Amino acid sequence: MTVLHLADEGEAADLAAFLSRLLHYDRGAAVRLQAAGTALAVFGQPPSFEVLAIRTVRLAKPYENGLDITLDVTVSAGELLETVDEAGATAVVPAAVTGPPWAGVLPPRSGWQAEPGLPGPKALRELVAAAVTEFRSRTQELTPEQRSRTELDRIGRDIWSRTVGETRLPVRAVHAAQSLGFLRPEDAGDVALFSSGSWLRLRTAYGSVAVRRDGLKTLGVSVR
């Protein structure tokens, strides 16, 4: 049994909240855990957004029971959530599961460069709100005969694939960040955009959303 000692109750609560949000979109969600020293990175993919979400959790000390250097395993998000003890600030790593294709292709750990042109947090939240309003308006205008999954998906792709400001970041990445609790109303700053190779990463104080410019549907092709 591998026990993770989280830095404090707040870190445990944030981890639990992140896992809960992933499970809201996919009850069978898996997460890939990577840790070294006192930092744990939790990767997940909410299916409706076609992005990778990354939540970094501070550990009070390295893990126990024979893991001396690193931890790298894909587990059930639901099983991990069940082990999170917020009062005790601990979590137990469940048994490994066969990971989905996205878990084999993660963003690079280094080589990130700042990208200009990203609007501020308030403008980003307003952009998402306007996109949601447009989606609702356009779908409500459809007749019952037109309201097919294909047509709804087409409207969604048209709206969420648009880019943000002068950047190459798709709007769906900002929507994902807000829906996962990474882009919060109280944020006044500390939101930035980075790129590395084909990857773009939106970083906030609460987590990151990464997306490949060629789309996550190709993530099963090459494995890192």
Arithmetic mean of pLDDT, 210-223: 55
Lowest mean pLDDT among 21-25, 65-69, 195-199: 65-69
Ranges in the chain annotated CATH 3.10.150.10: 2-104
Mean pLDDT of the chain: 89
pLDDT recorded at residue 189: 66
Query: Alpha carbon of 217 to those of 52, 96, 102, 151: distances in Å?
Result: 12, 23, 8, 20
Q: What is the pLDDT of residues 144-187, one digit of tens each?
A: 899 999 999 999 999 999 999 999 999 999 999 999 999 988 76
> Where does the pLDDT of residue 215 fall: very low under 50, low under 70, confident under 90, or very high at 90 and above?
low
CATH topology of domain 2-104: DNA Polymerase III; Chain A, domain 2 (3.10.150)
Extract the tokens encoding 46.
């909410």
For residue 114, give every residue at least 6 positions away whose Cβ sits within 8 Å of its Cβ, in sequence order, or none.
192, 193, 194
Residue 200 has pLDDT above 80, yes or no: yes
Extract the tokens encoding 143.
């007749």
Arithmetic mean of pLDDT, 71-89: 96
Pairing state of beta strands 90-93 and 113-114?
A: unpaired
Name the amino acid, one letter, at 179.
S
